[in-house]
Amino acid sequence: METKTAVTLLAALAQDTRLAIYRLLVQQGPEGLAVGQIGERLAVANATLSFHLKELSHAGLILARQEGRFIYYSANYEQMNGLLGFLTENCCRGEACTPASSISPCDGACQ
C-alpha cells in the first residue's frame, strides 16, 4: 500500500461520524445497511451522511450496492486489512517481535 493511500484511509476514519458509520457497517457484516437506515441509527442529516459516505466510499473502505430504490453500504474488510498491515510493516527492523495476541482482524467471510 502506498503512503498516499494509507493517509486517505486514515483521514476517512479520523472523524466522529465516519468512524461511527464504518464501525456500524463492520458490525453489520457483508449485507450492510441502506443509507436511510444508517442515517436513522446515527441521527445524521441527509446531506451530511451523503458527504461522509462518499468519503468512505472513495477511500475504498466501504462498498455500495444498489437494490431497487435503496443503496446498501457495507464494510470492505480487505481494504482495512491492507491498512493494518501497512501500519505495522517492518516493525523493529525485522528483529523478532512477540506478536500482539489480542488482535485477529476478520476478512468479512462470515459462515
Partner DNA sequence: TCGTTATTTCTATAAATATAGAAATATGGA
Partner DNA sequence: TCCATATTTCTATATTTATAGAAATAACGA
Which residues sit at the interface with a second copy, rule CB under 8 A?
Answer: 3-4, 6-7, 10-11, 13-16, 19-20, 22-23, 26-30, 77, 80-81, 84-85, 87-93, 95-100, 102-111
Among 30-38, 75-83, 84-92, 95-103, the segment contacting DNA (CB under 7 A): 30-38
Q: How far is the CB of 69 from a second copy (least distance, A)?
A: 25
Please report, to the nearest 10 degrees, the dihedral formed by the alpha carbons of residues 108, 14, 83, 6 taken in order.
140
Minimum CB distance to a second copy smaller for 69 or for 99: 99
The Cα 47–Cα 42 span in angstroms is 14
Is 48 a binding residue for DNA by CB under 7 A? The answer is yes
76 binds, among DNA, a second copy, none (CB under 5 to 8 A by kind): none
DSSP for 14-74? SSHHHHHHHHHHHHH-TT-EEHHHHHHHHT--HHHHHHHHHHHHHHTSEEEEEETTEEEEE
Q: What are 5's three cell numbers? A: 493511500
**Residue 111 contact among a second copy, DNA, none, beta carbon within 5 to 8 Å by kind:** a second copy
